[in-house]
Amino acid sequence: MEGVKVSVIVPVYNGERYLPACIASLRAQTLREIELLFVCDGSTDGSLALLREAEREDARVRVIAFPENRGVSCARNAGLDAATGEFIGFCDADDWAEPQMYERLYEIALRADAEMSFCRVYKDYEDRSENVPLGFDTGARFDADAIRETLIPAMLSRETDSDELPLSGYTPRNLFARALAARHRFRPDIRYAEDLLYIVSCALDARAAVALDEPLYHYRFHAGSVTKRYSPFVPDSHDLSNDAIEALVGGVAACRERMTIRRRKMAVTAVRNLCLPGSPFGFGERVRRARDYLAREDVRGWFADVRPADFPPRLALRLFLMKRRMALTICFLFSFVFR
């Protein structure tokens, strides 16, 4: 396609249930000079048939089909190789976008002479929708120094340990100039937090980024969401991602401080993961694995200086149990109380 302003890359793996809503939202974008690149990653359900139908109906839709599952990073990388737009965006197959999303992100990037733009997101749960604050006003522009000192630290963690999430390192909320995006790749060996690593890599390479304080992307949470079920790739993927991010930004003091907070949060996630639905481990094995994990020297170091009493009760309890390496108690809570 000629004159494409934005290419949207959508990895699809067994997304049949929510895929029609995703396709419809992208085809309804107010930005007409758009190409929609769906990468079907070896799906075994009806996803490919849905995509082929959309491809027949809309010349802006292009489908890349893998014969076997290769993982979300390989799917996104294939989309990067095929994209022709001035800018590149991403969408997940179980999510959807407001009609004006890509037009607004494209326009503000051009006005600010920025290679990246990013917006607010909705978190859509089965019973409610949450409009997540961005923390930056529309038009806030970050040059290379501000990206390192302000924007990336905000993505890594809150200023202190918190149950609140940092600025989401979630690829679909961003738009990237194609020349920038094409210089970087998603790592196939990282199955979780690969988004943040890619964003940080691009951000460090960008001249400028700009904020759009409008909620335009719907991040759907459901029982099948990857964060809601046990994964065999946790904590290894988190460790790989955090190590790679730290290698990129460890020289920036603000980032170095936030990385320790981030690692503590990911450590709690690692223990919780053992207790999620789909876990193959009985309670005794969960405790044994949690005990081994908490005994790691690096994990002990992340909690060494934290003062649980400085935090709200529920967070303080988790930090206390992690610091004291009380594997049995924390596994009991994650298995039967904090579900």
Q: Is the pLDDT of residue 227 over 90?
A: no
Q: How far is the C-alpha of 179 from the C-alpha of 205, rounded, in Å?
A: 11
Q: Is the pLDDT of residue 6 over 70?
A: yes
Domain parsing of the chain, residue ranges? 6-142+167-185+214-227
Q: Is the pLDDT of residue 90 over 80?
A: yes
Q: Is the pLDDT of residue 60 over 90?
A: yes
* Length, in residues, of the chain: 339
What would the pLDDT profile of 146-196 be if each residue is shown by its tens digit?
Answer: 999 999 999 999 999 998 888 888 899 999 999 999 999 999 999 888 999
* Cβ-contact 209, 117 below 8 angstroms: yes
Percent of the chain with pLDDT over 70: 98
What would the pLDDT profile of 34-44 be if each residue is shown by its tens digit?
Answer: 999 999 999 99
Q: What angle is formed at CA 16 by the lines to CA 15 and CA 21, rounded to 5 degrees?
A: 90
Confidence of residue 225 (pLDDT cuts 50, 70, 90): low
What HEC string does 42-95 produce? Answer: CCCCCHHHHHHHHHHHCCCEEEEEECCCCCHHHHHHHHHHHCCCCEEEECCCCC
Give how far Cα 118 sits from Cα of 49, 162, 181, Å. Answer: 32, 23, 14
pTM: 0.93
For 296, residues 6+ apart whose C-beta sits below 8 A from its C-beta are none
Q: Is the pLDDT of residue 226 over 70?
A: no
Fold held by 6-142+167-185+214-227: Spore Coat Polysaccharide Biosynthesis Protein SpsA; Chain A (3.90.550)
What would the pLDDT profile of 283-319 be if each residue is shown by its tens digit?
Answer: 999 999 999 999 999 999 999 999 999 999 999 999 9
Task: Calculate mean pLDDT across residues 60-66.
Answer: 98
* Cβ-contact 150, 246 below 8 angstroms: no
pLDDT at 164: 85
* DSSP code per residue over 264-333: HHHHHHHHHHHTSTT----HHHHHHHHHHHHTSHHHHHHHTT--GGGS-HHHHHHHHHHHTT-HHHHHHI
| Average of per-residue pLDDT values in the chain | 95
Sign of CA dihedral 328, 163, 261, 180: positive
Which residue in this structure is represented by tokens 């202190």? 160
* DSSP code per residue over 170-230: -GGGEEEEHHHHTT----TT--SSHHHHHHHHHHHH-SEEEEEEEEEEEEE--TT-GGGS-
Task: Calculate mean pLDDT across residues 235-241.
Answer: 95
* Cβ-contact 95, 190 below 8 angstroms: no
Q: How far is the C-alpha of 212 from the C-alpha of 118, rounded, in Å?
A: 6
pLDDT at 191: 85
Q: Is the pLDDT of residue 210 over 70?
A: yes
pLDDT at 185: 97
* Cβ-contact 329, 321 below 8 angstroms: yes
